[in-house]
A and B are shown apart, each in its own frame.
Chain A
Amino acid sequence: MTERVQNLLSILQKREYRTWRVTNDLDINAEIKHLDRYHRDAYRFKIMLEHEKAVLFEGERIGFYRHAKDFPYYTRPEDGYISGWGFGNLTPNYERVLSQGLDAVLEEIREKRRTMDATHTSFLDALEMTVVAALALADRYREAAKAAHPELYGALGQVPHKPPRSFYEACVFMKFIIFTLRCNANVHLTIGRFDQYMLPYYQADLDRGVAREDLLDILEEFFVSVNFDTDLYQGMQQGDNGQSVVLGGYDANGHDAFNDLSMLCMEASMELNLIDPKINLRVNKETPFSLYLLGTHMTKQGLGFPQYSNDDVVIDGLVKLGYDYEDAVNYTVAACWEFIIPGCGADIPNFITMNFPKVVNDTLHAELEGCENYDQLWEKVAQAIRAECDALMEEANTKSQFSTCARQSPYLSLYIDGCLEKGLDFSDAAAKYNNYGCHGAGISNAADALAAVKKTVFEEKSIGKRELLDALERNFEGCEELRLRLLDCPKMGNNDDAVDDISIALMEIFSSYLNGKPNDRGGIFRAGTGSAMEYLLSASKVPATADGRRAFEPYASSFSPSLTARVNGPLSVLQSFTKFDMTKIINGGPLTIEIHDTTFRNEDGIEKVARLVQLFIRLKGHQLQINSINRDRLLDAQKHPEKYPNLIVRVWGWSGYFNELDLPYQNHIIRRAEFRA
């Protein structure tokens, strides 16, 4: 690491820069009243950028940091929507804008404006306004860089007006795009296949004789620079910001495209140890073992990435959902784990959530006493799941109409294929894919609950129906012994068909019913195995369940064994969680395995963890997230946060600073199953 990178890193880690940021508090209601819906958004963007001052740290070469903490605000008259976050969870098409430069883009917009009919005028004018505003900001940065930042001054003479001439200029351009999109209040925009679309610039530099180490320095500066404003880019919790990259994976010809730039990204990330960019590794049957080894070295650092996704399952699954092969093969991963299509996709992959434990629990309370055998109960559960699918889809299609969950966004539209071409904002369904994702939260808890009922109520008849329901209603108060018997039943994660078959049936009903159903934007619904924050939020409203979980306790995060399950170990877990054909439930949502950090203490242990990951991929698992964790350290960090200012942990789909998480999230991480070798 060079001194320059080191300096930037220490500025970041001291966090002092956060203290001189200002609050804008700009109410623009009066100014936008008369504007149409495209111009309101464009105008806000323009005002936002006009108030941004150039922030340049000593000796740095990248730039574009937030000066103001907040956005100008206004109230949307038509629905009372308070302007807040814009559309997110997608991967913009950086490639196109990079390769054209914004001057050429501006030309194209003006050309469209001249040739297209009047219905497009308003959108195209607004779009032009945003590009002009963005360029003006870049020009201000150039001015500011003139005195003491010669490299940046030089770079900004080229980008973003014109296409980059070097990897360095491409990094500056990228930072500019990331920054401006965030100023447009678009959150969770991912960086995507950085190792693919940046490769031409990287390769050209190498061919020109630029040293690889110098390119590593630039990359490291770029990586550090995207970390500065993560506290402002928050989602549900700090750190949940979508700044993830996807490395490797098949190219359009079906060959694995992990390359030297992918490698450079891994190296930079391992040297820097920062929460961003989060790394997703695409792996497949061609992936060499060395990549699993490298990935495991990264896991060892405890940042909670890489997250692995299995091309051979994901691409298949996306094609089954109706994505074109050439798009599916280019998939990226959204802020957490949802599989999305860069550039041409405007899916909302986290729109609704099937709360499996709740559906099963409600069904037990309503129907158990009327059921003579398990099959009858199962029929009721299946009906309830289908009914819940209908209700969720209805909710997505009507109550939360698309227009209320995503504003018009001309500037974002620039980065989505089809918008400029058609002269339409992406919110007018101009993108190629406009699908809605449905998470599946608590699958393991639900399957465990049904397995316990099947065994104790119907097979052994050791617990009466009323007795069970009473115990659940009383939250096991005074029925501790009954709860222990429920905990003793088959649990998902032990490679036990008695419960795994139930989980398969649950996923089959859910996915076969929901996948492909139409939504209100001309897209479809797609089922997944993720939980997002619902493993805590929804769970905190659900009373005791028959798997032995007490009222309001969390579910497993995403597709993992429940917190109360006693699990044999990772080999059984891998098998339990790969029995279903995961191509059918491919919205995303990883199996998470925590491994005690002592396992990583030498090469031998690291190699074996890497083998474990490879086994998961061979078993046709879809997505895996493996953590190195040390419970004692986390407990100590709760007691003495001051000792661990930079302790990073995986939360759900993303990593964050342990100290910045709310207590329930901290506790969940501490409670997750942990395997020691």
Chain B
Amino acid sequence: MENGIVFSIEEFATFDGPGIRSTVFLKGCPLRCMWCHNPEGQEFDAQYVRNPNGCLHCGRCLSSGTGELTQESVGACPRGLVRLCGETYTPRALTERLLKNASLLQAAGGGVTFSGGEPLSQPVFLKRCLDLMEGKLHRALQTSGYCEPTLFREILSRLDYVLFDLKLIDEAAHLHYTGVSNRWILENFTLLAKSRIPFVVRVPLIPGVTDTAENLTSIASLLRENGVSYAELLPYNKMAGGKYAMVGRDYTPTFDEHQAPASRPELFAAYGIDIKIL
């Protein structure tokens, strides 16, 4: 499938790479991080979502009787709370839309960032878009790093910048909290570090999960092994659960949300790594 499913385009993204960027969120992710704040990005298919704020509980959105939201629900809700999340784009259509801002993005030292979901999970579409943008837009990828290394290599050659997440180094813990093994991720990270593509590592600080001294030490040492001297830390935000109701799910993290995440600067310093907390 060459077409892609996009669940959001943010024109003025300020935290997704250098300069002013437009970030494209591709739908679907093979991981299920317990702290995910974009649950609408997890499913691969377009889905109807319902904003609970201002809901009258009138039930008109469910009048089809199936108990599911449908196309009719969109028009039926008097408050306009139901919408289809996920829009299909051809690579050309998406590229054209982004290119309309190319000169502004360039003038502001930025470009386009593919994020998600996990953008590597729509590889054909992603490659095609990156090819179409070559030479016209600075191209960045924000990724969990989860895909087959051969594929990662192919994508990497088409990128100008990468934002790479490192969450947990212990494989069992990774499997437990994200639903997948981290073997590909670690392998891809090494590939990235050896490539000449500029990149930044981002570590989500989840209280009691990723912010333990043990995990952060493992991350710091992995960074040093790979000659990386800078990382960005993203402290857990209590708003993470905010969008679960919209997709009809409960947010049930098993870690303590209210505990302040630890950034352990001294630990990174011991490995000669500069950190920035976002």
- What is A's interface to B at a CB cutoff of 8 Å? 480-481, 484, 495, 568-572, 574-575, 595, 599, 602, 604-605, 608-609, 611-612, 614-615, 618-619, 675-677
Contacts and interface: CB of A to CB of B under 8 A. Distances in A.
Nearest to A484: B75
Contacts of B10: 569, 676-677
A569 B14 CA distance: 12
Interface in B55-111: 75, 78, 100-101, 104-105, 107-110
B13 interface: yes
A129 B26 CA distance: 74
A612 B15 CA distance: 14
B20 A612 contact: yes
B43 interface: no
Interface residues of B, number: 21
A605 B15 contact: yes
B75 A481 contact: yes
Contact of A608 (B14, B100, B107): B14
Interface of B: 9-15, 19-20, 22, 75, 78, 100-101, 104-105, 107-110, 278
30 contacts: A480-B78, A484-B75, A495-B100, A568-B11, A569-B9, A569-B10, A569-B11, A569-B12, A571-B11, A571-B12, A571-B22, A572-B11, A572-B100, A572-B101, A574-B104, A575-B100, A575-B101, A575-B104, A602-B278, A605-B14, A605-B15, A608-B20, A614-B108, A615-B20, A615-B104, A615-B107, A615-B108, A675-B11, A677-B14, A677-B15
A355 to B, nearest CB: 27
A611 B108 contact: yes
Nearest to B101: A571
Highest count of chain A CB atoms <10 Å: which of B11, B20, B101, B108: B11
A100 B278 CA distance: 55
Contacts, number: 65
B108 to A, nearest CB: 4
Given A481-B75, A677-B15, A568 B108 contact: no
A492 to B, nearest CB: 15
A618 B108 CA distance: 11
A570 B19 CA distance: 14
Nearest to B80: A484
A677 B104 contact: no
A571 B75 contact: no
Contacts of A609: 14
A228 B49 CA distance: 50
Nearest to A600: B14
A599 B20 CA distance: 12
The 4 closest A-B CB pairs, nearest first, are A569-B11, A677-B14, A608-B14, A611-B108
B101 A611 contact: no
A369 B231 CA distance: 64
Contacts of B19: 608, 611
Contacts of B11: 568-572, 675
A675 B9 CA distance: 12
B109 A611 contact: yes
A574 B109 CA distance: 17
Given A568-B9, A608-B20, A618 B14 contact: no
B127 to A, nearest CB: 25
